[in-house]
Amino acid sequence: MMIVLGGTIFSVLVEYPNWFADVPSSLEATRNFYKVFHPGYFFQTVVPFAFLTGIASVIIGWHVASARNLVLVSLAVLFSAEMLTFFYIYPRLGVLFGPDAGSQTIEALRLAGQQFTDADRIRTGLTVATNLLAVAAVLAFFRRRQHTEA
């Protein structure tokens, strides 16, 4: 999850300001730049891995209820971020970068950009929450482990 958060912070600080610097020409430059891969490839690889490691953590730490429950909540928050991404953010990215993006009006591009940015702030907050819950789960697991060894 820390890798996902790092990628998110990079996108927010470095990529998105360039995307929306001078609509529509900045979006055209972005479309031309991402000819082979786009940021989604990174997240579409790392996020499923985060889910798998979360599920493995639940299985491994099943006997530590406090850690298990924190990981389950973390996975639920991550799932909600993914639902926001698939059902709200991806359609806006389709307007901005899809095959018909060049035929969109400047106003439609700006609106989609604003909606994307607003939703991405929520998604970033959910990613931060997921990370905090995951760290709390690790601490709970080791606290319990240390307590039982003492």
Mean pLDDT of the region 55-77: 95
Write a three-state SS string for the chain.
Answer: CHHHHHHHHHHHHHHHHHHCCCCCHHHHHHHHHCCCCCHHHHHHHHHHHHHHHHHHHHHHCCCCHHHHHHHHHHHHHHHHHHHHHHHHHHHHHHHHHCCCHHHCCHHHHHHHHHHHHHHHHHHHHHHHHHHHHHHHHHHHHHHHHHHHHC
- Report pLDDT for 56: 96
Mean pLDDT of the region 82-105: 96
Mean pLDDT of the region 30-54: 94
Please provide the average confidence, as pLDDT, over all residues in the chain.
94
Q: For the full predicted model, state whether its pTM sits above 0.85.
A: yes
Mean pLDDT of the region 16-21: 96
Domain boundaries, the chain: 2-149
pLDDT above 70: residue 16: yes
pLDDT above 80: residue 113: yes
pLDDT above 90: residue 45: yes
